[in-house]
Structures are given as C-alpha cells and as structure tokens.
Amino acid sequence: TTLQAYRTTQFNSVTMAPKSKKNADSINSRLALVMKSGKVTLGYKSTIKTLRSGKAKLVIIAANTPPLRKSELEYYAMLAKAPVHHFSGNNIELGTACGKLFRTSTMTVLDAGDSDILSSQ
C-alpha cells in the first residue's frame, strides 16, 4: 500500500505541473508585452519611489526576495492601493522574463500598454 500511495502522489504531482507552467508562460508573455509596449520600472529603489508617488499600477515581486523587503513592498503597495503579484520564479527568472540580462527582484508596471496584465491580476 505504501508503494501505491507513493505512485499516487507521484502521479498527482506530475499532473499538477503543466498548470503552473501554463500560468508561468502566461505571465511571462504578458511581461514581455508590457516591456515592449508599456512603461515599467525595475528594481527595489525605483519601485519604492513609484509607490510613494502613487504612479504604480502593479507591483511584481520575485519569489526569493528577502522577507523584510517583501513585507515593506507589500505595505507600500497597500498604502498606494496597488495590487501585488508574487512571481513564481526567482529574481534571475524575473529578469529573464523582462528580457534583461540581469537579475531583478521587483518591478512596477506604470502603464500596461497593449498588455492585459492589469486585468488578469
């Protein structure tokens, strides 16, 4: 029975994987479109500046952002009434999804452009 339970859990984990991959591909394609047609800021300092000025429409935070920094960004976003999206990948993957060759732990969408990233959140 333990072997059967192991196979069941293994099967379930395999069937659940494509859904999260599809979501990741969806957000990645939206990020690419925002980078091309919209206006964004990359990085922690510029994200804080846009949140404090009230220009931020959406904040995206990478999964491996330090907890203190993450809670600070969430607090500023709450004050600015801006939605927060927790990106499933790490800061390297977020930078790559933005088409950059560097890491970025946070990014702010100021103008969505042709993308529907704001309505999908």
Expressed as residue numbers, the domain containing 52 is 23-120
Q: How many helices (H) and strands (E) does the chain have?
A: 5, 4
- The tens place of each residue's pLDDT in the chain, 121 residues long, gives 554 544 444 444 333 344 556 777 788 888 899 899 999 999 999 999 999 999 999 999 999 999 999 999 999 999 999 999 999 999 999 999 999 999 999 999 999 888 888 887 6
Q: Answer whether residue 14 is part of any domain.
A: no
15 in a structural domain: no
Nearest to 82 by CA among 50, 106, 114, 104: 50
Q: CATH number, domain at 84?
A: 3.30.1330.30
pTM of the model: 0.79
Asked if residue 60 lies in contact with residue 87, where contact means CB atoms within 8 angstroms, the answer is: yes
Dist. CA 95–CA 42, nearest whole Å: 9
Q: Is residue 4 part of a domain?
A: no
Residue type, 82: A
Q: Are 106 and 60 in contact (CB under 8 A)?
A: yes
